[in-house]
Structure 1
Amino acid sequence: MFGLVDCNNFYASCERAFNPKLEGKPIGVLSNNDGCVIAQSNELKPYVSMGMPAFKIPPDIKKQSILLSSNYELYGDMSQRVFSIVQDYIYDTEVYSIDEAFLNLEKQNNYIEYCQFLRKIVRRCTGIPVSIGISKTKTLAKIANHVAKKNPQHQGVYFLNTDDQIFIELLKQFPIEEIWGVGRKLSAKLNAMGIQTAWELRNSNASQLGKTFSVVLERTVLELQGTSCIELDSMDTPKKNIMTSRSFGKTTKELFEVQEALRVHASRGAEKLRSQNSLAQAVLVFLRTNRFNEHQPQYYPSIVIPLLYPSNDTRQIIEAVNTGLKHIFKEDYFYHKAGVMMLDLVDKDKRQLDFFSSTEKEETKARSETLMQTLDKINKKMGRHTVSFGGINKKAPWNLKREFISKRYTTRWDDLPVAKVT
């Protein structure tokens, strides 16, 4: 039996947790560089669609709404707090996204009662409201969560029992584009085949659909039939690749500014490698111009730089990134985005040893590991970039444009909430 915990209107809820004045107000959270709406509170959803550019929001709606820049530091930290609390009560947990996690509920006797308890604990400890859907498979738990969120009478928790008549009626009304793993493009093809609802998809030939489309759709059909075939991954499962990238607040054609942005991404990527005890065997570096600007020449280069030996040392990662940048950077282009991806990751404790490695080389590796551990401890305690390789210009064009950002209440000393006695 699976449960799906989903934080309700997560970004807006994070903002409200530390600013109660926002309760009941229409809130919109903007994407990088304050471009498009990427999250809305329930109050804003009827008037502003997901992905709408901020400049296209009607003036009368914008006047009554509260638009905020993405506060990723706050959202990421609150996500970690929510799911660490969940894991305290149900260890077998898989965090699926920043606001969703699957639970293994096999050991629980009363699913609904326990999930109601869990929901109250999360709200009390973090201020974040969550909904929980329960069923035999992950796909059905997703559908159950949809019901829990949309229908207040269920008080945030819904158990989708495949033995009930309600199960049949629900799937007959549930559109296939809303099913986890289907999406709009695939649903259009299924619609052409006469498959409109989750019930019709459930009663389709799984094997035939798998041959026509993909094994993913075949598994989805089996999951709708009550056969669990999507495993629950551990929270501690390391990523196979690590990407760090971001669009610039302003375009730039200066080499040193692009280099600085990539150095920050490389440092962050190396930090993520160490956090999951991994080593990278190669590094991919890429640049992007703004494809939406038709008046400027376009250029989308990328290059893979193999590392001499697997590493998570920030210095070696930066050196590889700089080598890659020299090969792909061209003057006279206005760059809009840059990024770094760590490739071919291996477990640090299971890497193949170098037969020809000298004692001096092993001592160098040990010193490197000690240095990186010290670096991470300082930055974790004092804040990211407290110690970094190379200076960071906070006014550089590549920095994010965030004119409406709220305080980083949980990750910055200067932004800690202050209780006033009146």
Structure 2
Amino acid sequence: MDESFADLSGLPEPLGNFARSIQSRVLQWTGMPVGIGIGHTKTLAKAAQHASKLYRKQTGGVVDLRADHAVRWLLERMPCNEIWGVGRRLTEHLKSEGVTTAWHLASLDPKTVRQRYGVVLERTVRELRGEACIELQEAEPDRQAICTSRMFGSRITTKPAMQEAIASYMHRATQKLRNQKSLTSVFRLGIRTSPFGDEPRYSNATTVTPPYPTDDVLLLTGLASQALDNIWRDGFRYSKAEILLMDLRKRGEYTADLFTPTQSTRSDELMRTIDKINGRFGRNALRSGRMPMAAAWEMRRELMSNAYTTSIHQLMRISAS
């Protein structure tokens, strides 16, 4: 499981009661217990959340770490390696200087820490002292590159089958591209055999530049299929392919060349229609003709765990009895 941060400014006190209402609802809806930590900074909130697990019986899984005496009590008992962002190697360096707990670290001079260890640890020290230095990330930043790459469920030995796989991977990659409203100016196509076993080995890749920045899955799939001719070799059992979209440009935020063609309005409308249909009827309800309905090379999913936290249809059911 992962975690998330939230700004609780403006909510009525006591915040501990609000945190317990969240905890109760998550448990009711999913059957999973969660720990919640409250602090003046993200690092202190993270430390409080760690304490909510460590002292679950005493705290009920909710720790409010805003009082000075509570901060000191916890940091004095918290080893450096438990601090968010302090790794094993840095912990060893700190230990050699007698810094073994979070309280020792918080007591260091931030400017000296910056000179010796860098700005990242300085921010950690300031955060442990109650000075907010790490901002909340309101939304995930757009990706600078988009990659779709999976091992095949069974080896591919023919070019038509590889073209199907590449079309499927490009379909998924361009969905991600359009979701963040970006266009790609360059993409990389790669194929390879397994690096294990006694089979003959081969790997190769090629870079393709479309005629203009685009998110058109039909154009990109056609270019990828043509590029495959340059790297395909008969006689090998291929285990993996990769599509990497690069040089991404945000729609409306780049200056096009006056003498270079741009993606047509018709293509834009077609991509919007494809996404709208797939959004309503399923991710692959509408696809390019090169994509198969089912293929032997697709990733095996017989042992895949249920998506309890990401699919409403696979949520755990809790009976009253």
Shared fold (TM-score greater than 0.5)? yes
Task: Return the alpha-carbon distance in structure 1 between the equivalents of residues 110 and 157 of structure 2.
Answer: 52
1:312 aligned onto 2:215: yes
Q: Gaps spanning 5+ residues in structure 2: where?
A: none
1:125 deviates by 4.5
> 1:158: which partner in 2?
63
1:148–1:158 contact (8 Å) kept in structure 2: yes
Q: What is the identity, as a one-letter code, of the residue corresponding to 2:272?
A: Q
2:78–2:102 contact (8 Å) kept in structure 1: yes
Change in Cα spacing, 1:407 to 1:214, as seen in structure 2 (3 Å) is same
Higher strand share: 1
Selected match of 2:270 from 350, 365, 371: 371
Within a 5 Å distance, the mapping from 1:380-419 to structure 2 comes to 380-389=279-288, 390-392=290-292, 394-397=294-297, 399-405=298-304
SS in structure 1 at match of 2:81: helix
SS in structure 1 at match of 2:252: helix
1:131 deviates by 2.5
Task: Return the alpha-carbon distance in structure 2 between the equivalents of residues 184 and 294 of structure 1.
Answer: 35
Change in Cα spacing, 1:412 to 1:104, as seen in structure 2 (3 Å) is closer
* 1:193-240 per-position Cα deviation (integer Å, ceiling 9, x unaligned): 554333333334545554555533332233223222222122264333
1:411 deviates by 6.0
Count matched residues.
314
Task: Return the alpha-carbon distance in structure 2 between the equivalents of residues 211 and 298 of structure 1.
Answer: 49
> 1:275: which partner in 2?
179
1:246 deviates by 2.1
1:162–1:226 contact (8 Å) kept in structure 2: no
1:283–1:320 contact (8 Å) kept in structure 2: no
Change in Cα spacing, 1:365 to 1:250, as seen in structure 2 (3 Å) is same
1:344 aligned onto 2:247: yes
> 2:164: which partner in 1?
260
Within a 5 Å distance, the mapping from 1:121-270 to structure 2 comes to 121-150=25-54, 151-161=56-66, 163-164=68-69, 166-192=70-96, 194-207=98-111, 209-210=113-114, 214-235=118-139, 237-270=141-174
1:289–1:298 contact (8 Å) kept in structure 2: yes
1:186 deviates by 4.2
Q: Gaps spanning 5+ residues in structure 1: where?
A: 1-9, 11-98
Point out the structure with max Rg over C-alpha.
2
Task: Return the alpha-carbon distance in structure 2 between the equivalents of residues 157 and 407 of structure 1.
Answer: 28
Within a 5 Å distance, the mapping from 1:58-97 to structure 2 comes to none
Change in Cα spacing, 1:182 to 1:285, as seen in structure 2 (3 Å) is farther
1:131–1:157 contact (8 Å) kept in structure 2: yes
Task: Return the alpha-carbon distance in structure 1 between the equivalents of residues 235 and 90 of structure 2.
Answer: 41
SS in structure 2 at match of 1:346: strand
Change in Cα spacing, 1:408 to 1:175, as seen in structure 2 (3 Å) is closer
Q: What is the identity, as a one-letter code, of the residue corresponding to 1:119?
A: Q
Change in Cα spacing, 1:246 to 1:350, as seen in structure 2 (3 Å) is same
Task: Return the alpha-carbon distance in structure 1 between the equivalents of residues 230 and 111 of structure 2.
Answer: 47
SS in structure 1 at match of 2:209: strand
Change in Cα spacing, 1:404 to 1:349, as seen in structure 2 (3 Å) is same
1:285 aligned onto 2:189: yes
Question: What is the TM-score with the length of structure 2 in the denominator?
Answer: 0.80
SS in structure 2 at match of 1:307: coil
SS in structure 2 at match of 1:284: strand
Question: What is the TM-score with the length of structure 1 in the denominator?
Answer: 0.63
Q: What is the identity, as a one-letter code, of the residue corresponding to 1:337?
A: K
Aligned sequence identity (%): 34
1:105 aligned onto 2:4: no
SS in structure 1 at match of 2:164: helix
1:365 deviates by 1.8
Change in Cα spacing, 1:351 to 1:207, as seen in structure 2 (3 Å) is same
* 1:157-176 per-position Cα deviation (integer Å, ceiling 9, x unaligned): 22222612x32232233233
SS in structure 1 at match of 2:6: strand
1:103 deviates by 0.8
Task: Return the alpha-carbon distance in structure 2 between the equivalents of residues 177 and 308 of structure 1.
Answer: 51
Change in Cα spacing, 1:412 to 1:299, as seen in structure 2 (3 Å) is farther
1:378 deviates by 1.4
1:177–1:187 contact (8 Å) kept in structure 2: yes
Task: Return the alpha-carbon distance in structure 1 between the equivalents of residues 96 and 293 of structure 2.
Answer: 54
Change in Cα spacing, 1:388 to 1:159, as seen in structure 2 (3 Å) is same
1:316 deviates by 2.8
1:320 deviates by 4.2
